């Protein structure tokens, strides 16, 4: 009978020590004051936008009446919603009046099997020179999804129009998973090619997109970047980081914030750990095995996946909304009464881009 009691005591002491440790942590957090780097409230708001862009009913999403279009994102004014049917991509641009900011959100992969997509990530090569930046290499597929589809011209056009309408609001770009990769390219594009200086990026569970040279270029131009990772989420571990080959490997840009649970039994706390400025802090998500898909699907307690399954299913009441469709069947829902300039500019920019690449 003695032993269980003794064990109980040890357990209690450990618990106390744990609590003690936690207090220390909280204190450290306050003491070092990371609030200028990472704002928990803002993270939660942007996570809700990154979650909403997954919704499949375009009418509800466009009119901001979807089940996830609520809570901290109430009052959001949608400016433009783009669905690239060809490549199964979705994004929106709008104004959060409570933040006085332009919000851009990109949807993650919408595939029947996220497992396949993840397995695929294991083998992704650094196979594209980031244009005009020597030594900066990125993954072509991620680059393509933002730069070489209907997404970029429509997003850029919407941002320009919104800034004309509301002034030079800061731009906050967000996305989960593959949407985080696209959000990264978008933030960099707006900062470098369109001279928007107040661009902020916050992504959730994004994969690596480029090498170390790309990461430092990125940090230079989009310093206000937060990459939230969660527990053992596998995706931020991919494509792999090979510390033995620093010149050849993928390399995350900073700054990671690693959310994970500590505690035992019912006493579980979520910690948001601010990581170092290297992008590859070994004491953050890299300190765990990174083998969980479940941890990929929820961030800050918010669902990060489509509300229904099926690849690229589009639900839309075609009669109720003004929209445009290009020859490939891609859809742009716009707040503006039909402005054919958008589709025209897509075609034009497509041509320009092919020229640049040739």
Contact set with ligand NAG (CB under 6 A): 35, 39, 41-42, 99, 128, 131-132, 140, 143-144, 148, 354, 356-357
- CB-based contact 234:291 (threshold 8 Å): yes
Residues forming a β-bridge with 298 = 303
- CB-based contact 293:114 (threshold 8 Å): yes
Taking the C-alpha atoms of residue 203 and residue 272, their distance in angstroms, rounded to an integer, is 14
Q: Which of 57, 233, 281, 295 is catalytic?
A: 233
- CB-based contact 208:251 (threshold 8 Å): yes
CB 35, min distance to ligand NAG, A? 4
Taking the C-alpha atoms of residue 334 and residue 79, their distance in angstroms, rounded to an integer, is 6
Residues forming a β-bridge with 331 = 83, 325
Phi first, then psi, for residue 295 (nearest 5°) are: -65, -15
- CB-based contact 233:296 (threshold 8 Å): yes
Identity of the residue, 166 or 323, whose beta carbon is nearer to ligand NAG in the bound complex: 166
Q: Is 36 a catalytic residue?
A: no
Q: Is 233 a catalytic residue?
A: yes
CB 193, min distance to ligand NAG, A? 6
Identity of the residue, 31 or 164, whose beta carbon is nearer to ligand NAG in the bound complex: 31
Residue for token digits 């706390």? Answer: 269
Q: Is 177 a catalytic residue?
A: yes
Identity of the residue, 17 or 26, whose beta carbon is nearer to ligand NAG in the bound complex: 26
- Active-site residue list: 177, 233, 296
């Amino acid at each position: 009978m003695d032993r269980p009691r003794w064990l109980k005591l040890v357990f209690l002491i450990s618990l106390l020590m744990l609590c003690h440790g936690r207090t220390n942590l909280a204190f450290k957090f306050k003491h070092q004051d990371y609030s200028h780097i990472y704002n928990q409230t803002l993270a939660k708001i942007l996570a809700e936008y990154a979650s909403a862009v997954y919704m499949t009913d375009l009418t509800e999403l466009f009119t901001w009446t979807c089940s996830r279009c609520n809570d901290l994102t109430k009052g959001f004014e949608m400016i433009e919603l783009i669905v690239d049917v060809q490549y199964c991509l979705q994004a929106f641009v709008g104004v959060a009046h409570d933040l006085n900011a332009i919000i851009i959100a990109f949807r993650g992969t919408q595939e029947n099997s996220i497992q396949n997509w993840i397995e695929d990530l294991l083998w992704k090569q650094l196979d594209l020179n980031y244009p005009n930046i020597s030594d900066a290499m990125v993954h072509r597929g991620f680059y393509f999804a933002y730069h070489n589809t209907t997404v970029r011209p429509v997003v850029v056009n919407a941002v320009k129009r919104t800034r004309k309408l509301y002034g030079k609001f800061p731009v906050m770009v967000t996305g989960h998973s593959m949407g985080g990769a696209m959000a990264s390219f978008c933030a960099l594009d707006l900062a470098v090619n369109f001279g928007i200086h107040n661009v902020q990026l916050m992504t959730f569970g994004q994969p690596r997109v480029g090498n170390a040279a790309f990461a430092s270029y990125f940090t230079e131009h989009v310093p206000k970047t937060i990459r939230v990772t969660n527990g053992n989420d596998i995706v931020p571990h991919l494509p792999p980081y090979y510390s033995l080959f620093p010149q050849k490997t993928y390399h995350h840009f900073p700054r990671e914030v690693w959310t994970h649970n500590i505690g035992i039994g019912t006493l579980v706390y979520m910690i948001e750990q601010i990581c170092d400025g290297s992008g590859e802090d070994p004491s953050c998500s890299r300190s765990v095995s990174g083998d969980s898909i479940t941890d990929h699907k929820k961030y800050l307690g918010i669902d990060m996946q489509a509300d229904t399954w099926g690849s690229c299913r589009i639900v839309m009441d075609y009669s109720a909304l003004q929209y445009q469709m290009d020859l490939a069947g891609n859809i742009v829902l716009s707040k503006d009464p039909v402005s054919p300039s958008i589709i025209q500019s897509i075609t034009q920019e497509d041509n320009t881009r092919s020229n640049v690449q040739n």
